[in-house]
Amino acid sequence: MLDPAILYLLVNPPMPPEPPRMAQEAMLLSEGAENIQRKAAQLQASFETYADDWRKKLAGIKTAANSTPGTGWTASDLSNLETIVGDVEEEAERRGKSLGAAQKRHRRKYRQIFADDPSVGAVVNTSATRLMAIEQNIIENLLDYALFLRAFIAERRADSRGGSVFDNAEELASHLDRALA
C-alpha cells in the first residue's frame, strides 16, 4: 500500500518564495548607496534563505518519493502527478517571464540611476544581479522537479515498462531511425 503522506507531498509540492518586490522596484528609487546596500543585503539574505529552505524541502520530497515502491500506483495517482507536472511547469514559465521583465526593467533603470550617481548604480546593479540569479536558480529547480516527476511517473506506469533495451547508442539510434521512417 502506498504511503498517503508521500502521495500528498508529491501532489502538494511547496511553492518557491517570490523575489522581494522592493529589490526590483522601490530599491531602485532609494537615495544613498550605503543605505541601499544595507537594505539590499537584508533582502538578498532573506530571499536566499527562503530559496535554500524551499530547495531542501524539494530534495526531501524527492528522497521520500524515491523510497516508495515502483508498483501499487493507481492511474488516478499518476494522473494527479501529471497535473502537478503541468502546474510546476506553468509556475516556472510564469517566473521566467517575470524574470525577463525584471531584467529589462533593471537594464532601463540602471542606466538612469548610474547616470545620476554611479555608486548607487553599482550597488543596485550588484544587488539586482544577485536576486535575479537566485530567481533563475529557483526556475531551474522547478523545471528539474517537473522532470523528476515525469521520470517518477514513467517508472511507475505499467504501460511504460517493457519494449526494447539498448546497450549502446548506435543500436538505439538505428532503432529510432527505423521507428521514425
Domain segments of the chain as ranges: 4-180
Q: Which residues of 22-59 are buried (b: 16+ CB within 10 A; e: fewer)?
A: ebbeebbebeebeebbebbeebbeebbebbeebbeebe
More confident residue, 87 or 110: 87
Question: What global pTM score does this model have?
Answer: 0.72
Tell me: the pLDDT tens digits for 20-67? Answer: 654 444 444 445 677 777 788 888 899 999 999 999 999 999 999 988
pLDDT higher than 60, residue 173: yes
